[in-house]
Amino acid sequence: MNCPECDGEIRVPDDAIEGEIVTCPDCGASYELVKSNDRFDIKPAQAVGEDWGE
């Protein structure tokens, strides 16, 4: 699939699971993998929140 920002090619790993973050190798934009029928689609990843952590 292609990056909505820069049209770079984003490869989805074979063992990818829904919710995983993928990054465009060209522009660095991050996307979350979402299931769409039986394939993956992407949506912009959440920005790091002030309460994110462990």
Partner 1 sequence: MKRLGIVYDNIRLEEKALVDAAKRRGIEVETINCADLKIRLDDGLNIPDVLLQRCVSYFRSLHSTSVFESKGKRVINQLFTSIYAGNKLFTQLLLKNANIPTPKSVIAFSAESALAAIEEFGYPVVLKPLIGSWGRMVALLRDKDAASAVIDDREHMFPLYHVYYIEEFVNRPPRDIRAIVVGEQVIGAIYRYAGKDQWKTNMALGGRAEVCKVSKELEDLCVKAAKVLKADIAGVDLMESNDKGLLIHEVNNTTEFKNVARVTGIDIAGSMIDYALKC
Nearer to partner 1, 17 or 39 (CB): 17
- Verify binding: residue 53, partner 1, rule CB under 8 A: yes
- Verify binding: residue 5, partner 1, rule CB under 8 A: no
Residues with Cβ < 8 Å from 32, sequence gap 6 or more?
19, 20, 21, 22, 42, 43, 44, 45, 46
Kindly identify the residues of this chain, within the stretch 26-45, that bind partner 1 according to CB under 8 A.
Answer: 32-33, 45
- Which tokens in the block code for residue 30? 């991050």
Q: Pick from 5, 14, 15, 23: which binds partner 1 (CB under 8 A)?
A: 15
